[in-house]
Amino acid sequence: MATIKPQAKQSEAFDPKEVRQDFPGLSAMARGRTVVYLDNAATGQRPVSVIDATSRYYREYNASVHRGVHALSQRATEAFEGARESLRRFLNAERETEIVLTKGCTESLNLVAATYGRAFLKQGDEVLLTTMEHHSNIVPWQIVAEEKGAIVRPIPISDTGEVLLDEYERMLSERTKVVGIVHVSNALGTINPVKEMVRLAHSAGAIAVVDGAQAGPHLPIDVQELDADFYALSGHKMFGPTGVGILYGKQALLERIPPYQSGGSMIRSVTFPKSEYAPPPAKFEPGTPNVAGFIGLGAAAEYLMALGRERIEAYEQRLTGYGTELIAAIPGVKLIGTAEHKCSILSFIVDGIHPHDIGTVLDSEGIAIRAGHHCTQPLMARMGVPATARASLAFYNTAEEIDALAAAILKAKEVFA
């Protein structure tokens, strides 16, 4: 398999067909043909470098990290903490101690709601969330708000799927304590103006919590420039292993909030009268971590940085534009989510055909998409649809695969004519 040459790739023209050689999963067969994989918003494929990094850990230095004095433990710890440094650079965080390793984006968002929310929300406070939030950045805040007597309010969006910034600004008040923002909508592809929304949240005295699950695979991310207070990432969506994720938090906030879970590794000392907690990030990382998973996630971050995220973004913008024009031109097809700034999502409905039936026909043609509400039921209600068919793209997808998608949609129309 081909591997990325870290310096060479940056300046070369982007060739998705060359990059595809790094992803063995793209050769998977189903229904007697090679799968056209267009379900990247659900999970990405894994490059060889990630597969090798996790396998190497198990083959060569399988040991628990931290506190071990033997050679294998020291080597595992070095690789584990090296992955944290890779993730710090991936997000341009100021310090490694601002990178908390979690089980995924969902746990990261639950961590913030359960710690910051329970510690600082009170009766009558407000949490503002965009209408296009994933359920994982809605339900945790609802749970805490119910406990504390706070209120969760949706920030309205336009028919094209864009946040109404004027409305958002009018909603902000001294009661606003938290603003939740999805960086890239998993159901629409909308790229939200995170930097401006964070600035407005801070002007009202609120913190900003950003769900970056869909931004991680597609966009350059600079948490210092965005000034986000918390930023959550999903490992498997950015071509890393499943079951791992990241929570970036500003150092001062991580020091203020209480632990999310407790046990070994997150303490400085334990006595029966009282326990003292370790400083961040250890305070939020109890128990034995997914060592292989985080080493693999570090490798995924290195892969994306070597490939060049600006190049990824530019190529995917062209591919998304091509797909938008092609799919929108099919009679009876309506795209859901047509924001001016969007990426990598082609979410659509077809007159007279349920999205699940579209997905079934496309599967028979060897094309993998997702159909449903995509864990965004409030968004679906706002857009006036129960569900959509969603083709989600990555940098290894090609125009020829978009052509195959369009042909399969036409086949579905024939089947249900």
pLDDT tens figures, 95-111: 999 999 999 999 999 99
Q: Which CATH architecture has domain 53-305?
A: 3-Layer(aba) Sandwich (3.40)
Give the Å distances, CA to CA, from 195 to 93, 191, 222, 417.
15, 11, 10, 46
Q: Where are the domains of the chain?
A: 8-46+308-415, 53-305
pLDDT higher than 60, residue 46: yes
| C-alpha–C-alpha distance, residues 397 and 394, integer Å | 6
- Tell me whether domains 8-46+308-415 and 53-305 share a fold: no
Question: What is the share, in percent, of the chain residues with pLDDT greater than 70?
Answer: 97
pLDDT higher than 60, residue 10: no
Which pLDDT belongs to residue 45? Answer: 98
- Fold assignment, 8-46+308-415: Aspartate Aminotransferase, domain 1 (3.90.1150)
pLDDT higher than 50, residue 8: no
Please state, as a whole number, how many other Cβ atoms lie within 10 Å of the Cβ of residue 343.
24
Query: What are the structure tokens assigned to 10, written together?
Result: 């940056």
What is the per-residue DSSP string for 106-169?
HHHHHHHIIIIIHHH--TT-EEEEETT--GGGTHHHHHHHHHHT-EEEEEPB-TTS-B-HHHHH
How are beta strands 36-37 and 207-211 bridged, if at all? unpaired
Contact in structure between 104 and 345 (CB atoms under 8 Å): no
| C-alpha–C-alpha distance, residues 103 and 91, integer Å | 18
Catalytic entry in 375, 377, 403, 411: 375
The structure's pTM equals 0.95
Per-residue model confidence as pLDDT tens digits over 51-94: 999 999 999 999 999 988 999 999 999 999 999 999 999 999 99
End-to-end Cα, the chain, rounded Å? 44
| C-alpha–C-alpha distance, residues 77 and 74, integer Å | 5
Is there a catalytic annotation at residue 105?
A: no
Per-residue model confidence as pLDDT tens digits over 132-160: 999 999 999 999 999 999 999 999 999 99
